Amino acid sequence: MTVNTIADTPATEVEYAAFIALDWADQVHAWALTANAAGAAVEEGKLKNTPEDMEDWIGNLRKRFAGRPVAVAIEQSRGAVIAMLTKYAHVTIYPIHPTTLACYREGFYPSGAKSDPGDTRLQLELLMKHRDRLSALRPDTVETRTLQFLTEQRRKRVDDKTGFCNELTGWLKQIFPQVLKWFFDVGSPGLEAFLKTWPTLAAVRRARPATLRAFFEKNTRCDEKEIEDRLAEIKCAVEATTDQALLQAGELAAAYLLGLIAGLRKTIADLDRVIRETAAKHPDFHIVKSFPGAGTAMAPRLLAALGTQRDRFGSASDLQCYAGIAPVIASSGQQRWVHWRWACSKFVRQTFQEWAEHSMKKCDWAREFYKKQRDRGKAHYAAIRSLAFKWLRVLYRCWKERVPYDEARLLAAIEKRKTKVVDAVNAKSKPVKILSKKALGFSKLEAISA
């Protein structure tokens, strides 16, 4: 989800003892090394992907260069190799995006030729000659990184549960469609208990009405009338199929899927508990929690996306670009076009878009802003991205200043900005018009001559 990096632009450049490129693999890595000395040759070798071999290799480098820092370029931002390398304080990691290396390779080898040793040499060249264009990996706090991993895992498990629920729905439509009407949530414990007791319509019809009534009273929120309606429907229900092959396969598939859904339901509940406890200990929790729509699920995701390193983003625009919310402008000659950002964390972008959508339920100005965007002809998701774009500016300011969200202060700032625009218009000698420049649902007030 999030890779915490910061541009290597300190007041004094770190003096690395050596530069290393690592072309990682599942079993054996290829590496290339050159010492930071005039005329130093490029050394190459292989390294097994085990903690023991990595420990020996790094230990030899520490002895050879007297513990001085070394820079390592690797085409990975998260994974087993990164996890092993981050243990060593004297190793600075420079993740290289696969697209960056692929385009760099294509510039020198347009034929498409590729090899592991060749890639290590290209990575080494990128690290030595273009390090100012790369960003060094700098891990955030334990709380932040824990939230990053846990919120990602929770989202994946929720998606898995949705997929299994859809698959279960497909089977039930073939063998027992009535149960989908009696239980609105396919992934609920009530449906699981019902199908474990009565996996087919024939089994349900053999049960006594009193038994069914007791079950619905205990496992659902149905009132007396709804229970009576269900009992009546069970009495006159017709089997969807009599194909024994389909019934047997469907019953086994349903039982299997119910077990997976139950396990995921428990996993998600456990993740929610740990995420809630971890988020409460985060130093910025009170800031994020103060925003409308940042509930128990969204607040930890916002914390994970922002982190605690205030120097990661120099402006709100940097945060908007990192989140994938800001559009990209491309131009060539007299042509100019705008598209949404492709190279970004999809989970982070999803986080801010979902938060913007949730905020409309709690915030009047957010709801009004969305409505104005729709009235201008914007599609739903374009309007949501535009709202997220606005929210990110507010979030950035509060996060940067370490203050909770204050809606009264925000509304006052909006009114003040409107007043400045009107004053600027009145101060012009020529008639002017106020235009709203738009791109992908984003707008900005601008005064121009009429």
Residue 110 and residue 89 in one domain:
yes
Give the CATH number of the domain where residue 238 resides.
Answer: 1.10.287
Let me know whether 267 and 293 are in one domain: no
Q: Record the pTM.
A: 0.82
Q: Looking at the predicted structure, is the pLDDT value of residue 38 above 70?
A: yes
The reply to whether 226 and 299 lie within a common domain is no
Report the greatest alpha carbon distance in the chain. 90
By CB atoms closer than 10 A (0-12, 13-18, 19+), residue 127 is buried
Does residue 357 surpass a pLDDT of 70? yes
Residue 7: pLDDT band with limits 50, 70, 90: very low
Q: What is the pLDDT of residue 320?
A: 93
Q: Which residues pair with 21 in a beta bridge?
A: 32, 73
> Which of 115, 139, 163 represents a domain boundary (last residue)?
139
Residue 37 has a pLDDT of 78
Give the model confidence (pLDDT) of 390-424 as tens digits: 999 999 999 999 999 998 888 888 888 777 655 56
CA-atom Rg of the chain in angstroms: 29
Q: What pLDDT score does 112 carry?
A: 82
Identify the residue whose tokens are 């801010």: 352
Mean pLDDT of 351-377: 95
Residues 153, 275: one domain? yes
Helix, strand and coil in the chain, % to nearest 5:
55, 15, 30
Domain end, chosen from 139, 163, 185, is at: 139
Is there a single domain that holds both residue 270 and residue 184?
A: yes
Mean pLDDT of the residues in the chain: 88
- Residue 310, Cα to own-chain centre: how many angstroms? 20
Question: pLDDT tens digits, residue range 325-349?
Answer: 988 888 888 888 888 788 888 999 9
Cα–Cα distance measured from residue 32 to residue 19, given in angstroms and rounded to the nearest whole number: 8
Q: Measured between alpha carbons, how far is 310 from 267 in angstroms, rounded to an integer?
A: 33
Amino acid symbol at 10: P
Taking alpha carbons only, the member of 17, 5, 132, 126 closest to residue 63 is: 17
Confidence of residue 76 (pLDDT cuts 50, 70, 90): confident
Helix (H, G, I), strand (E, B) or coil at 450: coil
Query: How far is CA 412 from each of CA 59, 407, 408, 419, rounded to the nearest angstrom?
Result: 59, 9, 6, 11
Going by DSSP bridges, is the β-strand pair 135-137/18-23 parallel, antiparallel, or unpaired? unpaired
The whole domain housing 29 covers 5-139
Same domain? For 161 and 186 the reply is yes
| pLDDT for res 8 | 40
Residue 444: pLDDT band (50, 70, 90) is low
Confidence of residue 58 (pLDDT cuts 50, 70, 90): very high
Note whether 246 and 174 are within 8 A (CB): yes
d(CA 149, CA 187): 25
Q: Which residues, including other chains, have CB under 8 Å from residue 382's CB and lie 6 or more apart?
A: 373, 440, 441
Q: Are 280 and 190 in contact (CB under 8 A)?
A: no
Model pLDDT for residues 103-161, shown as the tens digit of each residue: 888 888 888 888 777 889 999 999 999 998 898 999 999 999 999 999 999 999 999 99
Residue 42 near residue 32 (C-beta atoms within 8 A): yes
38 versus 68: the higher-pLDDT residue is 68
- What's the domain count of the chain? 4
Same domain, 329 and 372: yes
pLDDT at 441 (0 to 100): 47
User: pLDDT tens-digit profile of 241-284?
Assistant: 999 999 999 999 999 999 999 999 999 999 999 999 999 999 99
Q: Give the residue-averaged pLDDT of 367-383.
A: 94
Confidence of residue 11 (pLDDT cuts 50, 70, 90): very low
Identify which has the larger pLDDT, 411 or 442. Answer: 411
Predicted confidence band at 64 (pLDDT cuts at 50, 70, 90)? very high
For residues 421 and 401, what is the distance between their CA atoms, to the nearest angstrom?
Answer: 26
Contact between 195 and 177 under an 8 Å Cβ cutoff? The reply is: no
pLDDT of residue 331: 85
| Same domain flag for 110 and 161 | no
- DSSP H/E element including 34: strand 28-35
User: Is the model's pLDDT at 386 over the cut of 70?
Assistant: yes
Handedness of CA 318, 321, 323, 325 (dihedral sign): positive
Q: Count of CB atoms within 10 A of residue 27's CB?
A: 8
430 and 344 in a common domain: no
- CB distance 12 to 163 below 8 Å: no
pLDDT of residue 111: 82
Spatial contact of 289 and 301, defined as CB atoms under 8 Å apart: no
Average pLDDT over residues 200-214: 93
With cut-offs at 50, 70 and 90, classify the pLDDT of residue 379: very high
Q: Which of 213, 248, 279 is the last residue of a domain?
A: 279
State residue 6's pLDDT score.
44
Q: How far is CA 71 from the centre of its chain?
A: 28
Are residues 298 and 219 located together in one domain of the fold?
no
| Angle (nearest 5°) at CA 160 between 155 and 166 | 125
Indicate if 360 and 400 belong to the same structural domain: yes
Taking 50 as the threshold, does the pLDDT of residue 373 lie above it?
A: yes
CA dist 358 → 72, 98, 269, 351, 370 (Å): 42, 34, 21, 11, 12
Q: What is the mean pLDDT of residues 365-380?
A: 94
- Helix H or strand E segment including 400: helix 380-401
The SS3 of residue 267 is helix
- Would you state the pLDDT for residue 184? 86
User: Are both 274 and 298 inside the same structural domain?
Assistant: no
